[in-house]
């Protein structure tokens, strides 16, 4: 009897400490859409059904830039507008570097060479949060982690994606200057085939989210996740936000936290195996 109790305690402890097996994360961020508008789109709806839907997910601020900062830094850092900022603070890149893990931001229409102008064609700096941190922009080696999205196709082909990827479509493809219908069609064409590619999806957690809702009154956004660790078809009603995705990655890879809002954020415990 005592043996059975001891085995049960050990099993419970092992299950409690079990962590997801993903070794890669890719997060794609779209723009300014209410939850209802996003979930009505064919590709996004199908993605959420094949993966798991966070049906009570929200952005953390208005306008856009504070949300992007929050995604990687665990806090809006007091950013309340879309003007260029230069922050002296830590972010997920620092946690990844400390563990010897790799990261990149793939950015459509990015001019390269650590370009810090507000815009260039359909590129907007406010949507690329790593460019707001001085420990990246003043370090040429680290700034090379922000690349034009053409590098994404090369890395997929060569199977050299980093552990952590942030994919930022341009102002047309993210729906900012167009519509969520346009963004949905873009996502279907760009990522639809890759999500069926076993090499691309090998130990991958793929996240699609939005920066903020269109409505200022309610910041509910579409967020869904897909991958081998995801409970297919799950729909979570728990309250999640941008900090929750960050906390889930931190916990899965034993990164520690940034000591900000990520420290107390809820992990995606009910949609991951």
pLDDT band at 32 (very low <50, low <70, confident <90, very high): very high
- CA distance readout (Å), 149 to 109, 156, 165, 239: 7, 11, 11, 32
Nearest-angstrom CA–CA distance, 70 and 255: 17
pLDDT band at 205 (very low <50, low <70, confident <90, very high): very high
In the predicted structure, residue 12 carries a pLDDT above the cut 50 = no
pLDDT band at 263 (very low <50, low <70, confident <90, very high): very high
| Tens-place pLDDT, residues 70-103 | 999 999 999 999 999 999 999 999 999 999 999 9
Query: Could you give the percent of the chain with pLDDT greater than 90?
Result: 92
Whole-prediction pTM value? 0.93
pLDDT band at 18 (very low <50, low <70, confident <90, very high): low
Question: Interior CA angle at 120 toward 223 and 61, to 5°?
Answer: 35
The CATH class for the domain spanning 22-264 reads: alpha beta
Q: Which residue(s) pair with 52 in the sheet?
A: 225
Query: Could you give the percent of the chain with pLDDT greater than 70?
Result: 93
Per-residue pLDDT at 111: 98
- CA distance readout (Å), 41 to 52, 100, 218, 226, 236: 16, 38, 20, 17, 19
Rounded average pLDDT over 243-251: 98
Rounded average pLDDT over 33-44: 98
Per-residue pLDDT at 216: 84
| Tens-place pLDDT, residues 162-204 | 999 999 999 999 999 999 999 999 999 999 999 999 999 999 9
């Amino acid at each position: 009897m005592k043996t059975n109790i001891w085995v049960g305690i050990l099993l419970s402890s092992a299950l409690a400490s079990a962590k997801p097996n993903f070794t890669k994360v890719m997060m794609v961020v779209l723009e300014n859409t209410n939850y209802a508008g996003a979930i009505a789109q064919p590709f996004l709806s199908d993605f959420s059904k094949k993966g798991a839907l966070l049906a009570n997910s929200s952005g953390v601020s208005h306008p856009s830039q504070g949300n992007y900062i929050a995604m990687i830094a665990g806090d809006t850092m007091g950013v309340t507008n879309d003007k260029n900022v230069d922050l002296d603070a830590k972010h997920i890149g620092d946690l990844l570097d400390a563990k010897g893990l790799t990261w990149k931001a793939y950015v459509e229409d990015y001019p390269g060479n650590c370009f810090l102008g507000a815009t260039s064609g359909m590129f907007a700096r406010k949507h690329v949060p790593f460019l707001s941190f001085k420990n990246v922009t003043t370090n040429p080696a680290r700034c090379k982690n922000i690349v034009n999205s053409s590098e994404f196709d090369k890395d997929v082909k060569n199977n050299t994606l980093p552990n952590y990827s942030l994919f930022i479509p341009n102002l047309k493809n993210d729906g900012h200057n167009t519509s969520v219908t346009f963004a949905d069609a873009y996502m279907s064409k760009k990522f639809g085939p890759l999500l069926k590619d076993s090499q691309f999806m090998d130990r991958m957690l793929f996240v699609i989210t939005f920066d903020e809702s269109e409505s200022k009154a309610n910041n509910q956004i579409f967020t869904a996740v897909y991958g081998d660790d995801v409970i297919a078809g799950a729909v979570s009603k728990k309250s999640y936000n941008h900090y929750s995705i960050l906390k889930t990655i931190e916990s899965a890879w034993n990164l520690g936290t940034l000591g900000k809002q990520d420290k107390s954020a809820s992990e995606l415990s009910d949609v991951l195996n």
